[in-house]
A and B are shown apart, each in its own frame.
Chain A
Amino acid sequence: MAQYISKYDIIVIGSGLAGMTAANTLAKSGHKVLLLEKHHKLGGLATWFRRQGGYVFDVSLHGFPVGMIKSCRRYWNAPIADRIVPLPRIVFDNPQFTLTTSFNREDFTRLLTQKFHLAEETVVEFFDTARAMSHTGDASMTTQQLFDRFFPGREDVIRLLMEPITYANGSTLEDPALTYGIVFSNFMSKGVYTFEGGTDLLIRLMQEELERNGVDIKVSADVTGISVENGEVRGVQTGKDLIRAKAVVSNTNLKGTIFHLVGREHFTPRFIETAEAVRLNNSSTQVYMGLKPGESINEDVCGDLLFCSAAPAFRTEMLLSRQITSRTFSFYYPKTRPGTENYAVVSSTNANYSDWADLPEAEYKASKEALIEDTLNALEKYVPGIRGKIGWLEAATPCTFQDYTSHWNGASFGTKYEGLAVSRELPEQIQGLFHTGSVGIIMSGWLGAVNYGFIVANNVDAFMLDQKGKN
């Protein structure tokens, strides 16, 4: 029998934003917490990388809702919250319309009434309906049905309202309307925000706060199993070590937690059936472009975020295909990292894992080259002469994301809506086992992950108090 080498109240597997927030909240509540991360750095998908020549790229810092300020102030600290700043210029350019917006309710109301000529009361009612949606509401209406009710036949309006949200969390017109309503309303409350100083600074500040609160952090620690006896969690396996804990919070992919780390034999057949049916969200491709020193980007033309597309209309399946013409450009100016002169562009598209994973090596390479070429061609319109200005250029595919995070199929935004119920039910199946992290669309993205980390920490804390009462 393996030996337990040390004992914790709680072990958190994975240091994504949800795992870190859970670890921090629990440590602040007085528990002894161990955070295990398989990479050498914390953050999960909230990550960045540096390249020779001073280039630095953020992977998932394209924008999040204003709610992040409050969540960071409460679950982290004021210096983190104080660095969250608005991204004022969101640009759309497609065959149906071209416009610039601050992406909040006020400006969208102006656009929808003046530019798209909708009746003011329809717009007001739409916003109010979206805002009233909650995760306890009726999930049978789809987003398509929601749009059909308010804006029948208006593909242009649907595109304006849907395209950014699809990029934000992979949701589609076929998903429950409440997932749309919640995320859309979060953004519309004040627009899009970013973290000044870049992802590297955010994660460093979070790590310092975790250490201040007494969280033990171990990086390069790949957890290979969660040990369960008699329906109760006992600890986790990493390398040759078995580390004991009263509760385990898994921030790895929901399916990975159930089927790889625990094993299906520990769950009821009904639960396994439900868990198997959970659909994963799509993956992504990205192209990272760093501008040579001295080169710059025209902020007035490009804005902070640019949703551009040559497709005549918005279609979910087209947004995922490799023949995609729709992409989001994130422009990073020196203001992103004050004190530097860095200009960078990150282009993102949503993508299907299977379209990339099944390719023979030569074809995979060629597809990656084509992705880069198509991206540069599209960017030329907004940054003339882009090819000559670039000092660093590389691409990531769904295979890259899968390798990095171990998320099944390289899922960028967790699971579809049904995953949330499975995640919530885990502790009823195995005492002391919890899952947190991008799940169910509404709990994904930076804000969703942070909030869900806090929600789950709250459940773990209640569980720990219950256990104490029993002893």
Chain B
Amino acid sequence: MTNEEIRQAVIDILSDISPEEDLENLDDNTPFRDQLSLDSMDVMDIILELRKRYRVNIPEEDYGKLDTMTNTVAYLEPSLKEM
């Protein structure tokens, strides 16, 4: 997957979890929690979906690294670029 495809994959998950959210205007460098109404259960949901859809296993201590879109794509890149 290219970084653009990884970004789109995350957007797809976000829109499934929070359909009412405006994702078109998401700022990739601002934390998700500051622009979307995501709570800690939502973050857990994103992790579960990433595992279900792309088989990437993110350890609990790394959850905090998925705070912005830019950081999330960078974190996922090594696992997903071969897909």
Chains A and B are bound partners? yes
Per-residue contact bits, chain B 43-62, to A (CB 8 Å; 1 contact, 0 not): 01101100110010111100
Contact of A451 among B41, B52, B55, B60 (CB under 8 A): B41
B40 touches A134 (CB 8 A): yes
With A74-B17, A462-B57, A465-B57 in contact, is A455–B52 under 8 Å at CB? Answer: no
Cα separation A70 to B57 with both chains bound (whole Å): 25
**Residues A110-150 near B (CB distance < 8 A):** 134
**Residues B27-79 near A (CB distance < 8 A):** 40-41, 44-45, 47-48, 51-52, 55, 57-60
Q: How many residues of A contact B (CB 8 A)?
A: 19
Interface magnitude class on chain B = 10 to 19
| Chain B residue nearest in CB terms to A70 | B41
- A461 contacts partner chain B, Cβ-Cβ < 8 Å: yes
Cα separation A253 to B17 with both chains bound (whole Å): 31
| Chain A residue nearest in CB terms to B17 | A74
B57 touches A29 (CB 8 A): no
**Least distance between A452 CB and chain B CB atoms (Å):** 10
B44 touches A461 (CB 8 A): no
- A466 contacts partner chain B, Cβ-Cβ < 8 Å: yes
Contact of B51 among A71, A451, A462 (CB under 8 A): A462
B51 touches A454 (CB 8 A): no
State the total of A-B contacts with C-beta under 8 angstroms.
33
- A458 contacts partner chain B, Cβ-Cβ < 8 Å: yes
A71 touches B52 (CB 8 A): no
With A74-B17, A466-B57 in contact, is A461–B40 under 8 Å at CB? Answer: no
A29 touches B48 (CB 8 A): yes
Chain B residues contacting A70 (CB-CB under 8 Å) are: 41
Contact of A454 among B44, B55, B57, B58 (CB under 8 A): B44
Chain B residues contacting A461 (CB-CB under 8 Å) are: 48, 51-52
With A29-B48, A462-B51, A465-B51 in contact, is A71–B57 under 8 Å at CB? Answer: no
Chain B residues contacting A25 (CB-CB under 8 Å) are: 48
**Least distance between A469 CB and chain B CB atoms (Å):** 8
Cα separation A457 to B47 with both chains bound (whole Å): 12
**Residues A413-471 near B (CB distance < 8 A):** 451, 454-455, 457-459, 461-462, 465-466, 469
Chain A residues contacting B55 (CB-CB under 8 Å) are: 465
**Residues A48-79 near B (CB distance < 8 A):** 67, 70-71, 74
Q: Across the A-B interface, give the 3 residue pairs with the lowest CB-CB distance, nearest first.
A: A458-B48, A465-B57, A462-B57
Give residues in B with beta carbon < 8 Å to A. 17, 40-41, 44-45, 47-48, 51-52, 55, 57-60
5 A-B pairs with C-beta separation under 8 A: A29-B48, A29-B51, A71-B41, A457-B48, A465-B51
